[in-house]
Amino acid sequence: MWQDLSRDASFWAFLRKVDEGIASDARSGGCLFCGAPLHSASYKRKPRGPEVLTDGTRFSFCCSMDSCRKRVTPPSVRFLGRKVFVMASVVLVAAMRQGPTPARVRRIARLVGVSRRSVSRWTVWWTESFPKTALWQEGRSRFGEQVDPKSLPSSLLVYFKAGSSIDAFLGVLKFLSLLTRSGPGPPSS
């Protein structure tokens, strides 16, 4: 699945469209702090990942009121917080490490352009840091026994599997996108 997605420009364009929709909804709601209109304050990211992901624009907004000027950054299905690799890479490479052979993991890591050390760090993040986030603490009751924290992110992919692998993948990305927002609410751990 990953080999096909990493070369499929339409998949990356689709993820951008999802982000645009999320950003549009956030902007139409106005400032979360004072209610004033929001101005575009998008910025460029230099994400690492498949070559087809050429647009690194991170949608973000700034309050139009001089007395407020708070930044509001809506969730994203392309970027995972401050990590330099695209969210899709962090999810799939870590999931592949849990199941398939080491040779297949190496092949996918080469495709994404990630070192073994990064894959090891991602594994630690999934097993130690992510389960401590407010998102996981709130979400685990929703998943019940169906998602095993010891086998993240693979168990999330299985949980979100609806009709296709892409549906499952998008479900995981949308769930994780809540880690990427800024503004009032739980901190983006």
Q: Give the model confidence (pLDDT) of 144-168 as tens digits.
A: 888 888 888 888 888 888 667 778 8
Distance CA 13, CA 55 (A): 9
Is 101 contained in some domain?
Answer: yes
DSSP state of 99: S
Asked if residue 172 has pLDDT above 80, the reply is: yes
Instruction: Give the Cα separation of 74 and 72 in Å (integer).
Output: 6
C-alpha 91/C-alpha 23 separation (Å) is 22
- d(CA 23, CA 146) in angstroms, rounded, equals 31
Q: What is the pLDDT averaged over residues 107-136? A: 83
Q: Is residue 22 part of a domain?
A: yes
In a domain, 186, yes or no: no
Does the pLDDT value for residue 109 go beyond 90? Answer: no
Amino acid at 189: S
Decide if 71 is inside a domain: yes
Residue 118 in any domain: the answer is yes
Instruction: For residues 98 and 96, give the distance between their C-alpha atoms in angstroms, rounded to a whole number.
Output: 5
Q: Which of 10-14, 110-114, 120-124, 146-150 has the lowest mean pLDDT?
A: 110-114
Average pLDDT of span 100-119: 73
Kindly state whether residue 26 falls inside one of the protein's structural domains: yes
CB burial string 175-186: b at 16+ within 10 A, e below: bbbbbbbbeeee
For residue 179, name the pLDDT band (cuts at 50, 70, 90). confident
> Is 68 within a domain?
yes
Taking all residues of the chain, what is their mean pLDDT, rounded to a whole number?
82
Q: What is the pLDDT of residues 45-101, one digit of tens each?
A: 888 776 656 578 899 999 999 999 999 999 999 988 877 788 888 887 777 766 656
pLDDT recorded at residue 166: 79
**What range does the domain containing 33 cover?**
2-180
Report d(CA 122, CA 187) in Å as an integer. 20
For residue 87, being part of any structural domain is answered with: yes
Q: How many domains does the chain have?
A: 1
Higher-pLDDT residue of 110 and 67 is: 67
